[in-house]
């Protein structure tokens, strides 16, 4: 079975700052893959590389067996056109820390936007699916509300529904609960848990160690642009082998 995401020696710099210093990892289909680590360790940057919001400088990164951002012919790499990049992003859903809902559209319009505009789906079909998805994240009654009229937790659940509307094969979560009030975190995590139960492949950058332990199939601890430790959540979180992992976990747990 091909890996859903495969990274080999991925490097990324922003100017003089070397953010990713050779990342190797593999995410299997239907796996829930949690990335943890201190801020500035490169977790979010790596996540953004997967759907080509950031360009990698060296190494190989592929999603579902296809290179991200490039096409290989013989020994040569060709950069993909914007249109081709956009086409590949359709299959990868992304949820942001700051939600990034479109504020000028209601909840249901947010969810319908991409299917109608990108897949050219009929509005009635898109609306029906959007209603189903909003119902799934527990917000059927908020369909007509604008994002400004929703709480952070509700906005993030709409954002998840919006990503799901494209029926992605992979979902990326970039610290989805970090901007939320503590009592709103649970609702978002519940939605993510139910997604995991349905077999969605998920890569989750998170500080929620509880979620990583319960739902994660594997956990990777990153620090300073490298993977320090990877393995089953039970091992990494309760029995870390590396000093750096231990000291990080002692601070967050």
Task: Verify binding: residue 118, another protein, rule CB under 8 A.
Answer: yes
Task: Confirm or reject binding of residue 252 to another protein (CB under 8 A).
Answer: no
Closest distance between another protein and the C-beta of residue 60, in Å?
A: 22
Residue among 2, 8, 40, 104 that touches another protein (CB under 8 A)? 104
Q: Using CB under 8 A, which of the segments 19-27, 126-134, 156-164, 200-208 binds another protein?
A: 156-164
Round to whole Å and give the CA distance between 200 and 61: 20
| Rounded Cα gap, residues 87 and 20, in angstroms | 26
Candidate residues 117, 194, 239, 247; the one interacting with another protein per rule CB under 8 A: 117
Q: Which of 16, 148, 182, 250 binds another protein (CB under 8 A)?
A: 148
User: Which of these ranges, 25-33, 89-97, 197-205, 224-232, lies near another protein under the rule CB under 8 A?
Assistant: 89-97
CA pair distance 176, 180, nearest whole angstrom: 8
Contacts of 166 by beta carbon, 8 Å cutoff, 6+ apart: 90, 91, 93, 114, 115, 118, 119
Nearest to 137 by CA among 94, 99, 187, 185: 187
Contact residues for 102 (Cβ-Cβ < 8 A; gap 6+): 109, 110, 113, 147
Q: Which is nearer to another protein, 97 or 235 (CB)?
A: 97
Q: Tokens for 115?
A: 């299917």
Residue numbers at the binding site for another protein (CB under 8 A): 51, 53, 82-83, 86-90, 92-94, 96, 98, 100-106, 113-114, 117-118, 146-149, 159, 162-163, 166
């Amino acid at each position: 079975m091909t890996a859903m995401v495969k990274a080999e020696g991925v490097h990324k710099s922003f100017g003089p700052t070397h953010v990713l210093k050779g990342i190797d990892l593999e995410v299997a289909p239907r796996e829930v893959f949690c990335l943890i680590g201190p801020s500035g360790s490169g977790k979010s940057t790596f996540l953004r590389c997967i759907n080509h919001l950031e360009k990698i400088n060296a190494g190989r990164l592929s999603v579902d067996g296809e290179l991200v951002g490039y096409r290989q012919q013989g020994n040569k790499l060709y950069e993909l056109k914007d249109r081709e990049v956009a086409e590949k992003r359709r299959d990868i859903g992304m949820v942001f820390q700051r939600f990034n809902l479109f504020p000028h559209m209601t909840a249901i319009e947010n969810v319908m936007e991409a299917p109608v505009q990108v897949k050219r789906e009929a509005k009635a079909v898109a609306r029906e699916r959007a209603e189903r998805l909003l119902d799934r994240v527990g917000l059927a009654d908020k369909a007509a509300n604008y994002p400004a009229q929703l709480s952070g937790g509700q906005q993030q659940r709409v954002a998840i529904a919006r990503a799901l509307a494209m029926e992605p094969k992979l979902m990326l979560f970039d610290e989805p609960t970090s901007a939320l009030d503590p009592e709103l975190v649970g609702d978002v995590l519940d939605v993510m848990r139910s997604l995991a139960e349905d077999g969605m492949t998920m890569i989750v950058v998170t500080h929620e160690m509880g979620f990583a332990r319960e739902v994660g199939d594997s956990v990777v601890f990153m620090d300073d642009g490298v993977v320090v430790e990877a393995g089953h959540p039970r091992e990494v979180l309760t029995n870390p082998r590396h000093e750096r992992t231990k000291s990080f976990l002692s601070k967050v747990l």
